[in-house]
Amino acid sequence: MTPDTDMAVPAETISVVTSMIDAQDAVGLAAFIDLLEPADATLVVSRLEPTKRAELLSLLDAKRGAQLAAVLPESQAVEALSAIPPQVAAPLLRALPSDTRADLLGSLDHESAIAVLDALTTDEAEAVRTLTEYEHDCAGGLMVIEYLSYHAALTVQDVVDDLEKNADRYARFDVQYMYVVDRAGVLRGVLRIRDLLLTDHSRSLRTVMLTPPLSVRVTAKLPELVAFFEKRSFVGVPVVDEKGRLVGVVKRSAIQAARAQDNEKMYRLAQGIIGGEELRTMPLRVRSRRRLSWLSINVVLNLIAASVIAAHQETLEAAIALAVFLPIISDMSGASGAQAVAVSTRELLLGVTRPTEVWRAVWGEAWLGIVNGAALGVIIGGVATLWQGSLWLGVVVGTALGLNTLLSVCIGAATPLLLKRVEIDPALASGPILTTITDVCGFFIVLSLASLAIERITG
Amino acid sequence: MTPDTDMAVPAETISVVTSMIDAQDAVGLAAFIDLLEPADATLVVSRLEPTKRAELLSLLDAKRGAQLAAVLPESQAVEALSAIPPQVAAPLLRALPSDTRADLLGSLDHESAIAVLDALTTDEAEAVRTLTEYEHDCAGGLMVIEYLSYHAALTVQDVVDDLEKNADRYARFDVQYMYVVDRAGVLRGVLRIRDLLLTDHSRSLRTVMLTPPLSVRVTAKLPELVAFFEKRSFVGVPVVDEKGRLVGVVKRSAIQAARAQDNEKMYRLAQGIIGGEELRTMPLRVRSRRRLSWLSINVVLNLIAASVIAAHQETLEAAIALAVFLPIISDMSGASGAQAVAVSTRELLLGVTRPTEVWRAVWGEAWLGIVNGAALGVIIGGVATLWQGSLWLGVVVGTALGLNTLLSVCIGAATPLLLKRVEIDPALASGPILTTITDVCGFFIVLSLASLAIERITG
């Protein structure tokens, strides 16, 4: 690899690729794709017209097509796979690891998925169906089915012979570990390939394997798997069904990739990008519709908050200086609440807080809310007093911000845990819902206090 | 593993562990830790008093201590390591993979780190120093130095003998691949252990190894490494220095873990948690200070935005209904801007946008800003007209929101790219800076328009 080769003219590269696609120059394209750095391939192919991208995938051989599909954003890969004939898509998918294959097939629309499954062999289709049946964030959804398993009665020599005979087919397999099963397919032990190397070839696997084998259940959830791999230095762990039968292998890298996805989703949701990853190459109407669906919830909730202000319009009219501080109270409380949401969301993901511990989270946050609320209240109260020349205005604004900070951090701490318990993504908590609650409370507190002290403020 | 075992009484478990620590019951603690599920170990140990946690680590043997350190949040692991004697910390660190070891040592304060380095052997200390020299997000910072390399002139039998002799020491190594080097240490080829299994033991490595070996430079950055592994199904890739000498191995799982960390940091920064991960077990003064340092920037910026309102106080007084809509304009523009920030930040991370392509990002966002701005402007304008019974108020508020939405998405799209170019984390863009700019613009637009049309609004 030659590092640091920022392409000078991506636009030119894109037009070269496009004209090769138009000329159906399969050989040229294959050579060109091999030449590109993976990072440049991502950039160039992601910028092609969707139809060109699909044509490119169908012009390349299955292996290169699979490589390309793997470096594209998932939405683009899925779009291209739906657009190419199932007989072309099937071998491409076959060249991908089984977990990626199941992910992509699971994201295709029903009709395209069926067409591709029909083009796969019965065994392959069956395997994909099995994998897509599981939740994407449990061992079943994260495992691959490319593993080697042998019956316990076989000898080391039998394994060596099998490896030799099927060397090509196993080329894509991780064969650092092999698994030993009994007649019923129940996992009985683990073989390390390096141990085979050092062992008399006539011994039976039963006498060589490591027992008891560690394994995870097919239903094991992501946090359990993360903890499993953090405690142990294994590259992979066998997955068994409820009867102890070996059904797949979860690799360490799959767990890390799933964590990366979880964190990515957390960020995306917190920023109001709903309905999946957005790329600027997507059609404007899709992007606009998705964003608006989120913003329009925001509009409604904002109007609820604004109605609190409208209800106190008389107070505002009497002390117009309050209008200057309303957006500050809204924004500052929102920022404090977002911090509390982030800490709760992260603690859930790290496994140091359980969703049931709502009171613990609120308690841990309340003290901080008192300290930070007092600090911010004094600052803003002081500024208000000096700026508008009214001590009472300062007292009202400062007290309101202090109280609302306390409220915001408590609500912000609790919401992700409560959402988690009803299986809604905790990261959504920092969105409009929290903002609205803190706005309503903030506006209500400041305007109620002001109406109580209105004569002193205006006096 | 037995799944779904939520501990019924963590408080009791914690007090059991605490009393075992107080009784210095090393044997009992070791047995207890072995019994706990990793997820429960994380929960229980993360809840101990910091001093108890450090005592626990020093009571356990190095292997169990290392396992525990690996499942704890990094901040707690670092805190505990600083608190225990270097002679205890050193073997514990030795039992960790070299990359984790370097990360933890790199996070210790200077004095503790030196003390631990002194307690390691010269070779080990040297290796750690080398690893900590690299940026954490390049191949040098992500690699491990536990790999097997052999001289090209050796035979397969020599390797098998070495594996047999050092089986214990290599137990922690991933030995799916071994590397073949020349006298100068330059990487010449790769050996797959499964190929050794199938090969005549008298052959020299030179004739068995795969060439040319793929490798990455020690300076290769994370996006390059991500793309490398996405294109290929390798478990690891050898890392070479500028002279082609083998210096380490980057594993696929390390790349995925680094991505997860990047995404996590992105979320944390966007939510205003600055200065590293926050846990509710940290001292209140640390948590409060860190959050306030961020919020106080927010205060200053909010005051700037508020001063725009203050400057238009007369207009507001004449049309108090405007005060109801100011927080809506602030919040809605902020939400639209945050969406644009998220798309730019993600596109940078995915490698489908380069930091230099600011105009492309703004252009892609401007059209969406026009569509969404028009839609939101019509909605809010309509609501304002009906609610307050003034068409002109509706026109002013709607126009202002529409224009400010367009502005916000353009600024939101550009800021992460500009920050990336000056090597500031792009995720920071969604914080107070963007909010302030959009607030200032929004308040200015709506109040200026209102002062132009003040007679029609109030008439």
Find tokens 């903002």 and name the residue.
A435
The C-alpha atoms of residue A282 and residue B337 are separated, in whole angstroms, by 18
Residue in chain A closest to B260 (alpha carbons) equals: A260
B65 and B153 assigned to the same domain: no
Half-sphere exposure of B15 (CA within 13 A, CB side): 3
A94 and A170 assigned to the same domain: no
Instruction: Give yes or no for a contact between A81 and A53, defined as CB atoms under 8 angstroms apart.
Output: no
Residues of chain A in contact with residue B170, where contact means CB-CB under 8 angstroms, are: 194
Cβ–Cβ of A354/B42 closer than 8 Å? no
Residue in B339, B354, B383, B406 to test binding to A, most A beta-carbons within 10 Å: B339
Query: Is A300 in CB contact (< 8 Å) with chain B?
Result: no
Query: Is B42 in CB contact (< 8 Å) with chain A?
Result: yes
The C-alpha atoms of residue A371 and residue A405 are separated, in whole angstroms, by 10
Cβ–Cβ of B287/A336 closer than 8 Å? no
B408 and B340 assigned to the same domain: yes
Query: Is A458 in CB contact (< 8 Å) with chain B?
Result: no
| φ, ψ for residue B239, nearest 5 deg | -110, 130
For B296-336, how does the pLDDT look when each residue is reduced to its tens digit (9 = 90+)? 888 998 899 999 999 998 899 888 889 999 999 998 998 99
Shortest CA distance to A409 belongs to which of A358, A373, A456?
A: A373
Residue B326: both structure tokens together: 């100011």
The C-alpha atoms of residue B107 and residue B90 are separated, in whole angstroms, by 15
Query: Is B242 in CB contact (< 8 Å) with chain A?
Result: no
A393 and A327 assigned to the same domain: yes
Q: What's the gap in Å between the CA of A64 and the closest CA on chain B? A: 9
The C-alpha atoms of residue A71 and residue B48 are separated, in whole angstroms, by 43
Among partner residues A70, A220, A288, which is closest to B372 by beta-carbon distance? A288
Residue A186, helix vs strand vs coil: strand
Cβ–Cβ of B352/A3 closer than 8 Å? no
Residue in A37, A267, A333, A362 to test binding to B, most B beta-carbons within 10 Å: A267
| φ, ψ for residue A249, nearest 5 deg | -135, 130
Q: What is the CATH number of the domain that holds A39?
A: 1.25.60.10
Cβ–Cβ of A224/B365 closer than 8 Å? no
Within B300-428, strands assigned E span none
The C-alpha atoms of residue B254 and residue B453 are separated, in whole angstroms, by 61
Domain count, chain B: 3
The C-alpha atoms of residue B176 and residue B198 are separated, in whole angstroms, by 14
Query: Is A347 in CB contact (< 8 Å) with chain B?
Result: yes
B234 and B308 assigned to the same domain: no
B90 and B205 assigned to the same domain: no
B107 and B153 assigned to the same domain: no
Residue in chain B closest to A220 (alpha carbons) equals: B3
> In degrees, to the nearest 5, what angle opens at C-alpha A166 toward C-alphas A162 and A168?
150
Q: Considering the domain boundaries, does residue B3 fall inside one?
A: no
Query: Is B353 in CB contact (< 8 Å) with chain A?
Result: yes
Q: What's the gap in Å between the CA of A52 and the closest CA on chain B? A: 17
**CA-CA-CA-CA torsion sign (A450, A453, A454, A459):** negative
Among partner residues A277, A313, A343, which is closest to B320 by beta-carbon distance? A313
Domain that holds residue B410: 284-458
A288 and A237 assigned to the same domain: no
Cβ–Cβ of A331/B326 closer than 8 Å? no
The answer on pLDDT for B433 being more than 80 is: no
pLDDT band, residue B175 (cuts 50/70/90): low
The C-alpha atoms of residue B290 and residue B276 are separated, in whole angstroms, by 9
Instruction: Give yes or no for a contact between A69 and A92, defined as CB atoms under 8 angstroms apart.
Output: yes
**pLDDT at residue B187, rounded to an integer:** 94
- In this structure, the strands spanning B177-181 and B149-151 are parallel
- Portion 384-443 of A in contact with B at CB < 8 A: 387, 427, 430, 432, 435, 439, 443
Residue B119, helix vs strand vs coil: helix
Q: Considering the domain boundaries, does residue A278 fall inside one?
A: no
Alpha helices in A193-283 (DSSP H): 193-197, 205-208, 222-231, 252-270
Among partner residues A221, A320, A351, which is closest to B43 by beta-carbon distance? A351
List Cα–Cα distances, A174 to A137, B85, B174, in angstroms. 22, 41, 12
Residues of chain B in contact with residue A383, where contact means CB-CB under 8 angstroms, are: 303
Whole-angstrom Cα Rg for chain B: 30
Q: Phi/psi class of residue A351: alpha, beta or left (left: φ > 0; alpha: ψ in -120 to 50)? A: left
Give the long-range contacts of residues B165-172, CB within 8 A, separation 24 or more: B167/A194, B167/A198, B170/A194, B172/A233, B172/B97, B172/B146
For B333-391, how does the pLDDT look when each residue is reduced to its tens digit (9 = 90+)? 989 999 999 999 888 887 788 888 999 999 989 999 999 999 999 999 999 999 988 99
For B113-162, how does the pLDDT look when each residue is reduced to its tens digit (9 = 90+)? 888 888 888 777 777 777 777 877 889 888 888 888 999 999 988 988 88
The C-alpha atoms of residue B278 and residue B393 are separated, in whole angstroms, by 45
Query: Is B359 in CB contact (< 8 Å) with chain A?
Result: no
Q: What's the gap in Å between the CA of B42 and the closest CA on chain A? A: 6
The C-alpha atoms of residue B35 and residue B49 are separated, in whole angstroms, by 21
> In degrees, to the nearest 5, what angle opens at C-alpha A228 toward C-alphas B65 and B233?
115
Strand ordering across the sheet containing A187-192:
A149-151, A177-181, A187-192
CB count in 10 Å sphere of residue A74: 17
The C-alpha atoms of residue A373 and residue B45 are separated, in whole angstroms, by 31
Cβ–Cβ of B336/A227 closer than 8 Å? no
**pLDDT at residue B430, rounded to an integer:** 67
Which 8-state DSSP code applies to residue B24? T
Cβ–Cβ of B305/A327 closer than 8 Å? yes
Residue B274: both structure tokens together: 């600055």
Q: What's the gap in Å between the CA of A234 and the closest CA on chain B? A: 9
| φ, ψ for residue A346, nearest 5 deg | -65, -40
Query: Is B230 in CB contact (< 8 Å) with chain A?
Result: yes
Strand ordering across the sheet containing A216-217:
A216-217, A236-240, A246-251
Which 8-state DSSP code applies to residue B202? T
DSSP assignment of B386-407 equals: HHHT-HHHHHHHHHHHHHHHHH
| φ, ψ for residue B204, nearest 5 deg | -80, 155
Residue B188, helix vs strand vs coil: strand
Which 8-state DSSP code applies to residue A166? T
Which helix (H) or strand (E) covers residue A420, if one does? helix A391-421
Instruction: Give yes or no for a contact between B293 and B275, defined as CB atoms under 8 angstroms apart.
Output: yes
Residues of chain A in contact with residue B273, where contact means CB-CB under 8 angstroms, are: 339, 342-343, 346
* CB–CB contacts below 8 A, A to B: 393
B230 and B293 assigned to the same domain: no
Percent above pLDDT 90 for chain B = 34
Partners of residue A239 on adjacent β-strands: A216, A248
The C-alpha atoms of residue A132 and residue A140 are separated, in whole angstroms, by 9
Q: Considering the domain boundaries, does residue B291 fall inside one?
A: yes
Q: Considering the domain boundaries, does residue A47 fall inside one?
A: yes
CB count in 10 Å sphere of residue A154: 15
Strand ordering across the sheet containing B236-240:
B216-217, B236-240, B246-251
Cβ–Cβ of A233/B324 closer than 8 Å? no
- Domain end position, chosen among B229, B252, B275: B252
Residue A159: both structure tokens together: 């394994």
The C-alpha atoms of residue B98 and residue A219 are separated, in whole angstroms, by 32
**pLDDT at residue B8, rounded to an integer:** 46
- In this structure, the strands spanning A216-217 and B177-181 are unpaired
Q: Considering the domain boundaries, does residue B213 fall inside one?
A: yes
Residue A54: both structure tokens together: 């699909």
Residues of chain B in contact with residue A67, where contact means CB-CB under 8 angstroms, are: 231-232
Among partner residues A320, A327, A368, which is closest to B439 by beta-carbon distance? A327
The C-alpha atoms of residue B61 and residue B88 are separated, in whole angstroms, by 9
Residues of chain B in contact with residue A323, where contact means CB-CB under 8 angstroms, are: 309, 313, 316, 320, 323, 326
- In this structure, the strands spanning A177-181 and A187-192 are antiparallel
Amino acid letter, residue A140: G
Instruction: Give yes or no for a contact between B81 and B102, defined as CB atoms under 8 angstroms apart.
Output: no
Residues of chain A in contact with residue B3, where contact means CB-CB under 8 angstroms, are: 216-217, 219-221, 224
User: Looking at chain A, how many residues does it have?
Assistant: 459
The C-alpha atoms of residue A47 and residue A59 are separated, in whole angstroms, by 18
For B34-87, how does the pLDDT look when each residue is reduced to its tens digit (9 = 90+)? 887 767 788 888 888 889 999 999 999 988 888 888 888 888 888 899 899 988
Among partner residues B292, B324, B443, which is closest to A306 by beta-carbon distance? B324
A155 and A51 assigned to the same domain: no
The C-alpha atoms of residue B274 and residue B266 are separated, in whole angstroms, by 11
Q: What is the CATH number of the domain that holds B385?
A: 1.10.357.20
Residue burial B191-207, b: 16+ Cβ < 10 Å; e: rest: bbbbbbbeeeeeeebbe
Instruction: Give yes or no for a contact between A208 and A191, defined as CB atoms under 8 angstroms apart.
Output: yes
The C-alpha atoms of residue A41 and residue B144 are separated, in whole angstroms, by 28
Cβ–Cβ of B310/A287 closer than 8 Å? no
Residues of chain A in contact with residue B222, where contact means CB-CB under 8 angstroms, are: none
What tens-digit pLDDT sequence spans chain A (459 residues)? 333 334 444 778 888 889 999 999 999 998 888 887 767 788 888 888 889 999 999 999 988 888 888 888 888 888 899 899 888 888 888 888 777 787 888 888 888 888 888 888 877 777 777 777 787 778 988 888 888 899 999 998 898 888 888 877 776 676 678 899 999 999 999 988 777 777 788 889 998 898 888 899 999 988 788 878 877 777 889 999 999 999 999 988 888 888 888 888 888 888 888 878 888 888 899 899 999 988 888 889 889 999 999 999 889 988 888 999 999 999 899 899 999 998 998 888 877 888 889 999 999 899 999 999 999 999 999 999 999 889 999 999 999 999 999 999 999 999 999 988 888 877 776 667 788 889 999 999 999 999 999 888 876
The answer on pLDDT for B7 being more than 70 is: no
B326 and B406 assigned to the same domain: yes
Shortest CA distance to B180 belongs to which of B240, B254, B253, B131?
A: B240
Shortest CA distance to B437 belongs to which of B305, B300, B345, B312?
A: B305
**pLDDT at residue B459, rounded to an integer:** 65
Q: What's the gap in Å between the CA of A119 and the closest CA on chain B? A: 24
Q: Considering the domain boundaries, does residue A1 fall inside one?
A: no
Residue B354: both structure tokens together: 């380069």
Cβ–Cβ of A280/B252 closer than 8 Å? no
Q: What is the CATH number of the domain that holds B241?
A: 3.10.580.10
Instruction: Give yes or no for a contact between A332 and A442, defined as CB atoms under 8 angstroms apart.
Output: no
Cβ–Cβ of A174/B439 closer than 8 Å? no
**CA-CA-CA-CA torsion sign (A369, A372, A375, A377):** negative
Question: Cα B102 to the chain's mean position, in Å?
Answer: 17
Cβ–Cβ of A347/B260 closer than 8 Å? no
Among partner residues A214, A215, A331, which is closest to B330 by beta-carbon distance? A331
- Domain end position, chosen among A200, A229, A252: A252
A232 and A299 assigned to the same domain: no
Q: Considering the domain boundaries, does residue B264 fall inside one?
A: no
Q: What's the gap in Å between the CA of B206 and the closest CA on chain A? A: 19
List Cα–Cα distances, A44 to A10, A81, A95, A262, B24, in angstroms. 7, 18, 22, 27, 62
Which 8-state DSSP code applies to residue B213? P
The C-alpha atoms of residue A196 and residue A200 are separated, in whole angstroms, by 8
Q: Considering the domain boundaries, does residue A299 fall inside one?
A: yes
- Portion 140-179 of A in contact with B at CB < 8 A: 160, 163-164, 167, 170, 172, 174-176
